[in-house]
Structure 1
Amino acid sequence: MEIQNNRVLLRGKALQDFSGPGLSRLKVERRWLRWQLAVDRTSRYKGLSKPEARELARELARLVDVHEEESARRARQMALEMLRDGLSRELEELLTWRDRVEDFFLKAQSTSRWIARDQLKELLSERPDLSTLLHHPSADLEDALSETEVEALRSVRAPIWTRRARVNKLIEANELAARKDFLDRIEKSPLTTEQARAVIRLDNRVQVVAAAGSGKTSVMVARAAYAVMRGFVPAERILVLAFNASAAKELQERIAARFKAAGIDSTGLHASTFHAFGLSVIGQATGRKPRLAPWLESGRDLEKVERIVDQLRDEAPAFRLKWDLFRLLFAKVGERDADWWDPATKVVGHRTFRGETVRSAGEKAIADFLFLCNVNYEYERPYAHDVASPDHSQYRPDFYYPDVDLWHEHWAVGADGRVPAEFVGYEAGMEWKREIHQTFGTALLETTWGEILDEHGLEDFAAQLRRHGLSLDTVIDDPDRHMPGAQPVKNADLSMLIRTFMSHVKSNSLDRTKLRSAIASLPMGPARYRAQMFADLYWQVHDRWQGELAAHGYVDFEDMLIEASRALDRGAAISTYDMVLVDEFQDSSSARARLVGSLVHGEHKYLMTVGDDWQSIYRFAGSDMGVMTDFERWFGKGETLKLETTFRSSQEITDVASAFVSKNPRQIPKSVTAAQGPSGTPVRLARIAASDLNRPEPELAEAVATYLTSVSTRLAAGQIAPGPNGGLTIDVLGRYGFESDLLPRRPPPGIDVQFRTVHAAKGLEADYVLIPRLVGGTVGFPSLIDSDPLLDLVMPNPDPFPFGEERRLFYVALTRARREVAILTVVGRESPFVVELMAGGLVTLVGEIASGEAGSGLPPTPCPKCGQGLLRERTGRHGVFVGCTRFPTCTFTRNRGDIAVGVPPF
């Protein structure tokens, strides 16, 4: 026997050769007391000693292992060759694709052009199907590939969007350095780094969120100039959209001037209003450019609604009745909790037209209806019989009609026939009262809140009164009669609500079915009934409005924008623009956003919007903050960049304004820094004592004059540095136009004083800002008029944050100031904004309070219960105590503490 080259040779009658699988035929075994080598257990080679047998067994085992390893190697090699053969097509495509990707990124770096999202998506659309290769489960895949193929596979497996971000970062750094001269000279002042980045990041969808005074217009001008200068987009294929003609004109002129200064040709670059552009699109699509309704061109749309309402009231008694009922009785239903306290009766509740205080909104609706119908009634008159007992005080039914000896109970029962769960024992009380009337044989009329808020609830109520012998005037006979108590909503205010509602209905392409569905989603109760009643009125005005448009071939803003979008979507009009820049984007309606989306639909379109959601203040004109906060839903994925350096206000003003407005979680967060740093004065607040809280205007006017004189005196004394023209500009910013009456006829010398509403002041600035009337109330700041929940029915993204838009309006007022903000309020009528500012330590209290409750030395302390009112001294049966200024809405009280505080003068 010999072992050679991993083979076993046995010599006998014939030579036997064992190798590979044949080795398994050999086995060393013990036979009795001797060791031998057996072949297939049929032939044996004897004579092995024990050591020889062990050595031979080990050697045979080694030979078997060698054979198995070689077999496994050959099998693996064959498998890899088969695997490679099966992937040959994909391997070839892998290398080609790797080269394509490398060329793509190398070209981007060599041309130093930002890689837009659409460019990478287009590249990825050409990617071959490498699914088998990329997702092959074999752990030996890389062993089957060459080194080049392995590197290509690893490259392709790496996230390509991450690589884009890395390459874009290099491109941005290179461009910031290479284009420094351009970025320093395209505007009068060099662009900041955050502005320059917004210019260079030429992505398909970019939203620039710009803080007040952060130079957003500079970014728009520079971005357009950069695109033209680099040859990325021709000037004639760039469109700038603004919200009014003056803004569009200003942008056009600024673009022309700055392009010329930079040696760039701006020929063909067009700045337009949305409305002018929309009309041109429709003209292109139809061959007839429509005409905007003349009442819209002249800004008389609200007057048009009022005229339509007057026509409908004259023509249709049913409309007149429903309009007057809604305006008088239901316009404020559910607006607020109890807001009145009668010192004579000690009743906390709702004030009626007649001037009394009732306990519930339902009782107010009935009392006001009775007043309008000239029905003689008494509220909570003691019952004719003494029924007081240990368990019950003397019975006082809700209403009594002395002319017909009729008692009336109005039950807190909803449309579902149920009493609110929190009214424990209420149903037992209902039964007790019914039994009282049965016992004494007195007539009882019963109504429920659910019945009154039914479509024919008041008609049925009036019919019941007539059956009992009462005579009722028709409400529409004299709906504007003198009312000694609460005042109803004015026709103009309701018309404004109709117009605002219309803007959102049209912008969001709502019809009767969709609105009906939205109303049906409301819970049964006052809100749903009120919405149904309002919708019926609205559609009648809407139909008349549309009829007058059609009769004269006119269009309105919303219909025009929607039609222009449809024309672009269906290809009836073709957009010739590759880059669209939109100014003041926070003021966009859904219709405007849809038009923008249609303009940039398709590949390789570049959209940049610039705006500040913190300054979204035109909800009444149809704007929808959601087009900013839900940017990606409207326009697809993109970048959101922020301009957080303001060049207008001091850091003190900036911090106060930002802290106040940014509490709304639905807004886009920003961290705003003032370029001038903490060089200004704190925001200052003066609380003015008024002899009549309902008419504090005389004292406020005096305080305005005092403040203006103070500024003038400090300027003359050299305590204040003059402006560039040698004087100072002061804007007095009111929530309402009537506040202009607070200004003195002749301002002090050295200062230029202008009154503006806060809405009108948007986009403007002054050295000093005075907010002269930050008070609470229906016509206060925040306004309780412009926040009707009906608007939430027609907005896809209603803002649920309390007074969200009013808070943004206040932010706009604060951020108009370059140097200083001063605020006036009235003791006892402080706005909840005042309370919040004071509670947060955001204002410095100044001025002197001459008399009244504040003269007691009670410091301005926010109410710990509601947080919206201040504590004030009151006198009750047990002496002096402290209560909330929002009483009766807030009923917090506590003992008077000894707290004294002094405040500096203006």
Structure 2
Amino acid sequence: MATTWTGRGGWTLTHDGALVALHHRGSTEEFRGAEAARLNVRWWFFRRTLTVADAGGTRRFTGLGRRDARAVRATLARVAARGHLGDALARASAAEAALARHLDDSIGRRHWVAYDDVAAIVAGLPTADEALAPFSAAERAALTHLLTSRESAALEFLQRDPWPDVARANARILASELEHERAFLDGVERSPLTTEQAKAVISHDSRVRVIAAAGSGKTSVMVARAAYVLHRRLVAPGRILMLAFNADAARELRARVDARLAALGLDASGVEVSTFHAFGLRVIGEATGRKPRIAPWIEQNRDVAKVEEIVDRLRDGDFAFRFRWDLFRLLHGKAGASLASAQPDSYDRATGTSGFATYRGDTVKSEGERLIADWLYLHGVEYRYEHPYVHDVSDATHGQYRPDFYYPTVDAWHEHWALRADGTVPDEFVGYAESMRFKRDLHRRHGTTLVETAWHSILDHSGFEELARTLESLGIVLDWNPDRPLPGAEPLAHERLARLIRTFMAHVKSGSLTRADLEDRLTARPTFDTARTRLFLDLYWRIHDVWEADLRAADAVDFDDMLARAAGALEADPALARWDLVMVDEFQDTSRTRARVVRALLAPGRRHLLAVGDDWQAINRFAGADLDVMTHFAGFFGPSLTRRLETTFRCTQATADVAGRFVSRNPAQLAKSVRSAAGTGGAPVVVVRVAREEDIPGAIGARLRDIARKHPQASVDVLGRYRADRDLLPREVPRGLRTAFRTIHASKGLEADHIVVPHLVAGRRGFPSTIEDDPLLALAMAEPDDFPYAEERRLLYVALTRARRTVTVVTVAGRESPFVLELLDDPDVTVVAASGERDQVRRCESCGEGTLVRRRGRYGDFLGCSTFPRCTATTPLA
């Protein structure tokens, strides 16, 4: 019913629902909803006045009575508030009712409430703060008196987070399904599903990440999820896609799905199981009418050999490339993230000093001097390191002067100064500037020739160019020969550098990175050794371009290109993504390109993703895998639910505890508390220390014989870090034992009663591998893991968790891997000698990174650190 107020000036104001009409002198102005805020009641010259706010100012209508003034003010506030909030409150009221119906219906049918279904219901609703933005604090407080009860309830809905209601509904649904579907959950696999597994199966949310510990039955969850959605008629068979990492895993998954669904009387014929690669090829063929061809060197697993072939072609046809390839391999290949942080690796018995081994066999005092010495040697320059100066300048407080290098053929001396790019001396080098002045003055006074280089210029290579010009001007002939015999330090092998290039390429292609992208990353990360990285990038892009040209010439693609094209096709044509449930196995090994494919499969909306993996077992970085895809799952795919499988049916509790504590030292790994289904206990992990490398086969043989006596029909896997570790196996193994050698990478997904890790030692071909964790790789990864040897740590975790009964690790005394030193601190690890008797190991208290080993000196035997010469600490024999 309309209400009208009349002013003494002959004007009237009428309110009817959302409309307020002002009548004056035969004309009418209408104010609908929020426009009523232009009207107000104010005092003007001691009279109550109706005001109208216009663009040009304020109009006033006087003659409003006291009682009417209060009523008009309240009415205008109510109409304006409802005008501002009306649409939002109407939508909120409808959404609240729709959500309540959806939750009630889902609970009644015991169907999981998916995130995207709820998100669609509340889509477009403003937050309470957004809806109330036009109102002051006082006006907000008055809203309770201005809104109807239904409008107030709608506003409260905007203020309330709906997701706790959804969580409560799903908790009821989960409990109900666990009860009603008990028979199904007990029979879907050969063994009844655990509560952890059943929860992962029933949680049919939009995006579910299942973090599965080793041996926890992740494949059972995938098979059971397929059976569950068919059993409950949530998804049709032809709308289920299961993606596996490799062909073997896909075949196993296909067989499991067929067998279990058939046993349940469910139709599995439409369920698609595929590798990412086969799936990508099919998508491209369907989208373009032309299925691409994978390059033969990729199909034959000869990708590293292909890089070597390209390098050989470039070296043969381009002297500049050959020089830079050899320069990196020989001078920079074994350097880390920062040359300034390099550790000594050699000891000069004649002088009793630690330092850095050169190719000629010298021990020099700094990494910069090593670079110079190796450069000189590879150029055929005769030099003497720290040769006594030609003039005796020693005195009571100073020994004889020994410049860094002496060139006898031209009678010239060379000093390599520790100077920064601005010519200053590092603050910690107290007295260094005075020493420089003294040495320069000596050469001036005695008329001797002094060649000078600086640390910063050697680091960015410009110093070598200047050094070459200086030496040639003195009459020294430079004869660069990268194939010169190297009696001293070991260089980086061509094959290992080619493997580093290929791994880097996998990440570049997976991330669709350009030259500019990598340049931006290098600029943004000052911790990188810039000169080394730029040299590497120069080599990489030359090889990359030839690789791409060879692909075009073969009318072929590599896997990364193919997956990128498949993702592009799915993104361009959503109709190609026709699956309602997508399940991905080994998700920790997913590359960014694979993640893009998965995201495109979900793009049409209201789809379901189940991603199963274990970040502790992420060991395929060499193939482009990016662990960040799993650890930051929601950032890639959207809001998600996480389920955990923390019961292992494989390992003993002792092995699970040792492996878990070891891998969890890296704080970037997702936390888990792994429990053995067998209960507490189990044999300790045994570390066998042998005296020499050649004693390893004998120690392994003794272990195999011991296993054969106790478990005659047991299976034993010897898991090496490298294929060459196969040579460490004894010639004969006991009859009855099922013994096999595998690399740890090849053991993924397998298990054996007993596991032997044959060569856990330090060194360039040791475990952890230094080349596989080269900091250069972090440049091509979005979120590099800065924890030392992160990938290698996970690799050892995989080896340990292949065991059903026992784990034996073999190391060499004095060459223990840093991983062994960590294991020594674990209460569930036992150390024995090759004889089988308990062995006592003393860690070096000085560096904490080595063990004390018996050494012989000029004054008798003593205990020294195994990391010598990096650590020179000694301890007298007890």
Query: How would you bin the TM-score normalised by the shorter chain?
Result: 0.7 to 0.9
The residue number in structure 1 matching 2:491 is 488
- Of 516, 524, 530, which aligns to 2:519? 516
Distance verdict in 2 for CA 1:442–1:198, change over 3 Å: same
Tell me how far 1:576 sits from its aligned partner: 1.2
In the TM superposition, residue 746 of structure 1 has moved relative to its aligned partner by 2.3
Q: Which amino acid letter does the alignment assign opposite residue 381 of structure 1?
A: H
Which residues in structure 2 correspond to 1:397-412 (within 5 Å)? 397-412=403-418
Q: Which amino acid aligns with 2:503?
A: T
CA distance in 2, matches of 1:522, 1:679: 46
Partner of 1:892: 873
Please say if 1:787 is aligned against 2:768.
no
Give the drift of 1:326: 1.2
Partner of 1:386: 392
Whether the 8 Å CA contact 1:282–1:573 is kept in 2: the answer is: no
Say whether 1:702 aligns with 2:698: yes
Q: Give 1:839 deviation, angstroms.
A: 2.2
Equivalence map 1:47-126=2 (5 Å): 79=74, 83=78, 87=82, 96-125=94-123
Confirm or deny that 1:502 pairs with 2:502.
no
- Superposition pairs of residues 564-643 of structure 1, within 5 angstroms: 564-571=566-573, 574-643=576-645
CA apart distance, 1:376 = 1.4
**Corresponding residue number in structure 1 for 2:420:** 414
In the alignment, the residues of structure 2 paired with residue 429 and residue 798 of structure 1 have an alpha-carbon distance, to the nearest angstrom, of 42
CA contact (8 A) 1:334 1:361 kept: no
Equivalent residue letter for 1:189: S
**2:484 alignment partner, SS class:** coil
Task: After TM superposition, give the deviation of residue 386 of structure 1 in Å.
Answer: 0.8
What's the counterpart of residue 176 of structure 1?
A: 178
Q: 2:470 aligns with which of 464, 469, 491?
A: 464
Give how far 1:499 is off: 0.5
Name which of 237, 262, 284 aligns with 1:282: 284
Taking structure 1 as reference, are residues 143 and 322 closer, same or farther at Cα in structure 2, changes over 3 Å only? Answer: closer
Kept after mapping to 1: 8 A contact 2:591/2:629? yes
Q: What is the distance in 2 between the residues matched to 1:670 and 1:364?
A: 45
Aligned position for 2:51: none
Contact 1:567-1:573 within 8 A present in 2 as well: no
Deviation at 1:454, TM superposition (A): 3.4
User: What does 1:338-349 align with in structure 2 at a 5 Å threshold?
Assistant: 338-349=344-355
Give the residue type in structure 2 aligned to 1:339: D
Amino acid paired to 1:241 = L
Partner of 2:736: 750
Deviation at 1:226, TM superposition (A): 1.4
Assess if the C-alpha contact under 8 Å between 2:212 and 2:645 holds in 1: yes
Shift of 1:452: 2.5
Q: 1:712 aligns with which of 704, 708, 714?
A: 708
CA distance in 1, matches of 2:504, 2:159: 53
| 1:104-183 aligned within 5 A | 104-125=102-123, 127=125, 137=139, 139=141, 141-142=143-144, 154=156, 157-183=159-185
Contact 1:858-1:872 at 8 Å conserved across structures: no
Looking at structure 1, the residues matched to 395 and 745 of structure 2 have their Cα atoms a distance apart, in angstroms, of 61
Change (3 A) 1:437 1:189: same
C-alpha distance in 2, partners of 1:858/1:892? 22
Instruction: Structure 1: give runs of 5+ residues left out of the alignment.
Output: 1-70, 691-695, 717-726, 899-906
Change (3 A) 1:254 1:408: same
Provide Cα deviations, 1:357-382, integer angstroms capped at 9, x if missing partner.
11111111111122222221111111
Question: Greater shift after overlay, 840-849 or 127-136?
Answer: 127-136
Alpha-carbon distance between aligned partners in 2 of 1:150 and 1:459, rounded to the nearest angstrom: 79
The aligned residue for residue 778 of structure 1 is 764
State the identity as a percent.
Answer: 49
**Range with bigger deviation, 409-418 or 191-200:** 409-418
Q: Describe the shift of the 1:350–1:138 C-alpha distance in structure 2 as closer, same or farther (beyond 3 A).
A: closer
- Cα distance between partner residues in 2 of 1:94 and 1:206: 28
Counterpart of 2:360 in structure 1 is: 354
- Cα drift, residue 331 of structure 1: 1.1
Secondary structure of residue in 2 paired with 1:554: coil
CA contact (8 A) 2:454 2:463 kept: no
Change (3 A) 1:390 1:315: same
Q: Which residue does the alignment assign to 1:872? A: 853
Q: Is the 8 A contact 2:99 2:118 kept in 1?
A: no
Task: Pick one of 273, 277, 282 that aligns with 2:275.
Answer: 273
Q: Tell me: CA distance 1:441–1:258, structure 2 relative to 1, closer, same or farther (3 Å).
A: same
Please state if 1:396 is matched with 2:394: no
Judge conservation of contact 2:686–2:830 (CA < 8 Å) in 1. Answer: yes
Deviation track 1:772-819 (CA, whole Å, cap 9, x = no partner) reads 111111111111221111111111111100111111001001000000
Distance of 1:271 and 1:386 partners within structure 2: 81
Match for residue 728 of structure 1?
Answer: 714
Q: Does the 8 Å CA contact 1:730/1:766 hold for their aligned counterparts? A: yes
Aligned to 2:213: 211
Amino acid at match of 2:82: L
Instruction: Tell me the CA shift for residue 672 of structure 1.
Output: 0.4
The more displaced of 317-326 and 407-416 is 407-416
The whole-number CA distance in structure 1 between the counterparts of 2:92 and 2:668 is: 46
Kept in 1: contact 2:689–2:812 (CA 8 A): yes
Instruction: Please tell me the residue identity of whatever aligns with 2:812.
Output: V
Q: Is the 8 A contact 2:132 2:140 kept in 1?
A: no
CA contact (8 A) 1:282 1:289 kept: yes
212-221 or 372-381, which deviates more: 372-381
- In structure 2, C-alpha distance between the alignment counterparts of 1:303 and 1:92, rounded to whole Å: 67
Q: Is the 8 A contact 1:199 1:223 kept in 2?
A: yes
Q: Distance between the aligned counterparts of 2:416 and 2:77, measured in 1?
A: 90
Kindly tell me: are residues 152 and 353 of structure 1, through their superposed partners in 2, closer, same or farther at Cα, counting changes over 3 Å? closer
Q: Deviations over 1:695-721 (max 9, x none)?
A: x1x2111111111111112336xxxxx
TM-score, reference length from structure 1: 0.84
Alignment map for 1:719-868 (pairs within 5 Å):
727-848=713-834, 859-868=840-849
Deviation at 1:474, TM superposition (A): 2.4
Q: Distance in 2 between matches of 1:96 and 1:533?
A: 63
Deviations 1:178-205 (A, max 9, x none): 1111111111111111111111111111
CA spacing shift, 1:409–1:78, aligned 2, 3 Å: closer
Once the two structures are overlaid, the 10-residue window that deviates more, 662-671 or 514-523, is 514-523
Cα offset, 1:387, TM superposition: 0.6
CA distance 1:150–1:312, change in 2 (3 Å): closer
How many aligned residue pairs are there? Answer: 802
Q: CA deviation at 1:606?
A: 1.0
Structure 1 residue identity aligned to 2:711: L
Counterpart check, 1:443 vs 2:449: yes
Q: Which residue of 1 aligns with 2:434?
A: 428
- Equivalents in 1 of 2:399, 2:870: separation in Å? 26
**1:20 is matched with which residue?**
none
Give yes or no for contact 1:883–1:892 (8 Å, CA) kept in 2. Answer: yes
SS of the residue 1:350 aligns to: strand
Q: Cα 1:86–1:624, aligned 2, differ >3 Å: closer, same or farther?
A: closer
Cα deviations across residues 618-659 of structure 1 (Å, max 9, x unaligned)? 111111111111111111111121110000000010000000
In structure 1, which of residues 185, 190, 193 is the aligned counterpart of residue 192 of structure 2? 190
Map of 2:558 onto structure 1: 556
The correspondence of residues 7-22 of structure 1 with structure 2, limited to 5 A, is none
| Unpaired runs of at least 5, structure 2 | 1-65
Residue identity in the other structure for 1:512: R
| CA distance in 2 between partners of 1:122 and 1:144 (Å) | 30
Query: Aligned with 2:749: secondary structure?
Result: coil
Establish whether residue 376 from structure 1 lines up as the match of residue 382 from structure 2. yes
What is the deviation of 1:449? 2.4
Contact 1:689 1:827 survives alignment (8 Å): yes
- CA deviation after TM superposition for structure 1 residue 249, in Å: 1.7
Q: Matched residue of 1:404: which SS? A: coil
Alpha-carbon spacing, 1:389–1:260, altered in 2? closer, same or farther (3 Å):
same
Q: Which has the larger radius of gyration?
A: 1
**Distance verdict in 2 for CA 1:439–1:278, change over 3 Å:** same
Name the CA distance, whole Å, in 1 between partners of 2:681 and 2:289.
Answer: 59
SS of residue in 2 equivalent to 1:444? strand
Q: Tell me what 1:39 maps to.
A: none
Please report how far the alpha carbon of residue 147 of structure 1 lies from its aligned counterpart in structure 2 after TM superposition.
6.1
